[in-house]
Structure 1
Amino acid sequence: MTAQDITDEHRRDAQTLWDYHRLGHEPRNTEAAIVLGSYDLGAARHAATLYHQGWFPLIVFTGATNDYTIDVFPQGEAVAFHTAAMQAGVPQSAMMIEDKATNSGANITLSRQLLIQAGIVPTSVTLIAMPFMERRAFATCRAQWPEVEVVCASQPITFADYLSSSADPRHVICDMVGDLQRIIEYPKYGYMIEQVVPEEVHAALKRLIVAGYDSVLPKS
């Protein structure tokens, strides 16, 4: 399926989810950045941009692989992201790799452990992820690492441009649906902090699930 094959109704509902997932934080100076692995190298490139702008002195790339990224990044997400950042001019001395995490909770906890093992105990971090993963990353970090100050960042891009540039636009929407369902369900397990989800966002989520964008929903 191409971006053009997605109906206008589904596109409007997906835009509603996109707008909710993005937090719009202003960049702030932090002691380290944590870049959550995925299939989107835009996160690594944006981390490099922010590093060169001087917002943080150190970047941790975190992520192993999953069923969707194993063929794209067989060496692992963190390793692929590290390579992309190095190609963008970030020095090796400013980067660390955490290559075991397979979910967002582990992204946070294992990155924290890696920093502590290196003698670094930050009081502030910048989380960098896919654009629609900002809220999930924030809610996870606030639950798993409550004492650290968090600012979220992602590639500055519109939903329309992101979808049209994706090799698998349907999967992008499925991912947004899955992330929102996790934001709703995971606080009861302690994986994330509770987030207010407006009714119009709930309604858009339900319509997209009924329409079949359900391949990345959390397993019950």
Structure 2
Amino acid sequence: MTSTSRREITDQQWADTALLWDYQQMGHELRPCDVAIGLGSHDLGVAAETARLYLRGLVQRIVFTGGPNPSRPDAFPRGEAVHFAEHAVALGVPESAILREPNARNTGQNIEFSRKVLAEAGVRLSSVLLVSMPYMERRAYATCRQVWPEVDVVCTSSAMDLHDYAKSIGDDRLVIDSLVGDLQRVIEYPKLGFAVAQDVPGSVHDAYQRLIDDGFTSRLLP
């Protein structure tokens, strides 16, 4: 995939992207939870952040969930859950603290299948710490409220600003496309029964539409 230089993105486009970025952050206060679920993605930073939270003592168990990644198949040839778990172990998390869910292909399955894995392992819980990519917190929250409404959910991600995150991924256009795609899912998925509805401020919706008009559309639903 060809890297897109920040010089090719206009100031207005970055400003619009920042509105989407800020909206997607839930701003939940971190607190101890029974289990962390590291949601599979193309971003290995999710595994690192989940490991960091475990090592801080905020959770006692971790589930890494996700099958093959369509965006970076070469980076995770054995699936997201497997590679994320290996990365967490390399960072100091004991194998005994990790469960793997290697089949999920979307966020709803991430949560639904993780719930089943935890039940099969006999893990009793009332609270979950969902760890996602920074621009995916709100969609993860809305999905969890739909799929697992009885659990108390806290959402978090790596503490990075938009430009640092884009630099870490190495492809500005992919990051912006992904933000646009995630907001579309926040808007559309409640209509399909995949997530609970979220209020989208007019300024955020306007920024989203401008980015679509500017061609940031590769992650939109068909």
TM over 0.5: yes
5+ residue gaps, structure 2 = none
Does residue 170 in structure 1 map to residue 173 in structure 2? yes
1:84-112 CA distances to partner (integer Å, 9 max, x unpaired)? Answer: 10111000000011000000000000000
Pairing 1:195–2:198 present? yes
**2:209 alignment partner in structure 1:** 206
* Alpha-carbon distance in 2 for matches of 1:130, 1:171: 13
% identical equivalent positions: 50
Q: Who is 1:48 aligned against?
A: 51
Question: What letter matches 1:189 in structure 2?
Answer: L
Partner residue, 2:86: 83
1:57-93 per-residue CA deviation (whole Å, 9 max, x = no partner) reads 0000000123212122111111111111011100000
Question: Relative to structure 2, which stretch is displaced further, 163-172 or 25-34?
Answer: 163-172
Tell me what 1:11 maps to.
Answer: 14
Superposed CA offset, 1:156-206 (max 9, x none) = 011111112222221111111011001001101110000000000000000
Q: Which residue of 2 aligns with 1:129?
A: 132
Shift of 1:121: 3.1
Task: Indicate if the aligned counterparts of 2:21 and 2:179 stay in contact, CA closer than 8 A.
Answer: yes
Q: Tell me the secondary structure at the aligned position of residue 47 of structure 2.
A: helix
SS at match of 1:201: helix
- Corresponding residue for 2:33? 30
> Secondary structure of 1:150's match?
strand
Matched positions, count:
219
Corresponding letter in the other structure for 2:41 = S
Matched-pair contact (CA < 8 Å) for 2:69–2:76: no
Unaligned runs of 5+ in 1: none
Give the structure 1 partner of residue 162 of structure 2. Answer: 159
Query: Distance between the aligned counterparts of 1:136 and 1:195, measured in 2?
Result: 9
Alpha-carbon distance in structure 2 between the residues aligned to 1:7 and 1:154: 26
1:18–1:176 Cα contact (<8 Å) kept: yes
